[in-house]
């Protein structure tokens, strides 16, 4: 009986240690994502309710755009690549939304140029008649900053610079219209 009890206790200790390690990992991940209690206000994280991380990127024709200089007006960011089928499917609706809401919201496409071909991106812009500025994330720094894991990824930012919605993946036209309508009414 002593042998069974020792091995049973050893297993129990093993399970407790594994659970404690798992708990420590969960706490660390939660803190690194900014989800701990009381967080919010001033931190810059790519999470709903937080300040949008600031960046400066250039358009394909060389004009610098800095996010923090746009405070006071709602901003929409859309991370995409020319080879991405959901991006291709979503773009005509985004162009239409820009026509509808472009006077109230600053629209910016962010091409993942590090993972794309610049000429294909330019062809994409021309073919889809994108009439809002498209920024080149040639080094992947902004997509890393926003923790883009799937494309398209869309970020809706209120005039105060806080993220009001973050959508990974394809949006329906109805979702876009609702989200753009809500963003356009933020003050």
| Cα of 185 vs its chain's centroid, Å | 21
Which of 152, 161, 157, 154 is CA-nearest to residue 182?
Answer: 157
Mean pLDDT (whole number) for 13-36: 48
Structural domain boundaries, residue 156: 50-185
Q: Which domain CATH number covers 92?
A: 3.40.30.10
Residue 87 lies in a domain: yes
Q: Which two tokens stand for residue 157?
A: 């930012």
Residue 36 lies in a domain: no
Angle CA(148)–CA(87)–CA(181) in degrees, nearest 5?
A: 85
Residue 124 lies in a domain: yes
Mean pLDDT (whole number) for 127-152: 96
- Domain count across the chain: 1
Which of 97, 86, 58, 80 is CA-nearest to residue 170?
Answer: 86
pLDDT at 46: 79
Query: 45, 67, 87, 142: which one is catalytic?
Result: 87
Q: Residue 32: enclosing H or E segment and its boundaries?
A: helix 2-32
Residue 34 lies in a domain: no
Residue 62 lies in a domain: yes
Which of 121, 55, 51 is CA-nearest to residue 91?
Answer: 121
Residue pLDDT, tens place only, 81-135: 999 999 999 999 999 999 999 999 999 999 999 999 999 999 999 999 999 999 9
Q: Is 84 an active-site residue?
A: no
pLDDT at 186: 86
Helix axes 85-101 and 173-184, enclosed angle (nearest 10):
40
């Amino acid at each position: 009986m002593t042998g069974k009890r020792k091995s049973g206790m050893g297993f129990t200790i093993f399970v407790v240690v594994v659970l404690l390690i798992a708990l420590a990992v969960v706490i660390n991940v939660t803190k690194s994502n900014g989800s701990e209690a009381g967080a919010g206000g001033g931190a810059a994280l790519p999470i709903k309710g937080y300040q949008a991380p600031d960046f400066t990127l250039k358009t394909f024709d060389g004009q610098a755009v800095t996010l923090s200089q746009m405070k006071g007006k709602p901003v929409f960011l859309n991370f995409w690549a020319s080879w991405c089928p959901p991006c291709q499917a979503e773009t005509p609706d985004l162009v239409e939304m820009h026509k509808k809401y472009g006077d109230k919201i600053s629209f910016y496409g962010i091409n993942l140029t590090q993972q794309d071909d610049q000429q294909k991106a330019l062809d994409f812009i021309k073919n889809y008649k994108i009439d809002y500025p498209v920024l080149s994330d040639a080094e992947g720094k902004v997509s890393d900053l926003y923790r883009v894991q799937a494309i398209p990824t869309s970020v809706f930012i209120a005039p105060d610079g806080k993220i009001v919605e973050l959508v990974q993946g394809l949006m329906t036209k109805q979702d876009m219209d609702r989200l753009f309508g809500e963003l356009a009414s933020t003050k």
